[in-house]
Amino acid sequence: MNNTLLLKLANASMLTTLVIFVICAVLAYGFDSHFPLIGLTMLHVVQILLAGLFKLSYVVRLVAQQQLGLAIR
One digit per residue, pLDDT tens: the chain, 73 residues?
Answer: 799 999 999 999 999 999 999 999 999 999 999 999 999 999 999 999 999 999 999 999 999 999 999 888 7
Distances (CA, A) of 38 to 7, 12, 32, 45, 62: 37, 30, 11, 10, 36
Q: What is the pLDDT of residue 43?
A: 97
Residues 16-28: tens digit of each pLDDT: 999 999 999 999 9
Instruction: Give me the phi and psi of 20, to 5 degrees please.
Output: -65, -35
Helices first, then strands: H and E counts in the chain: 2, 0
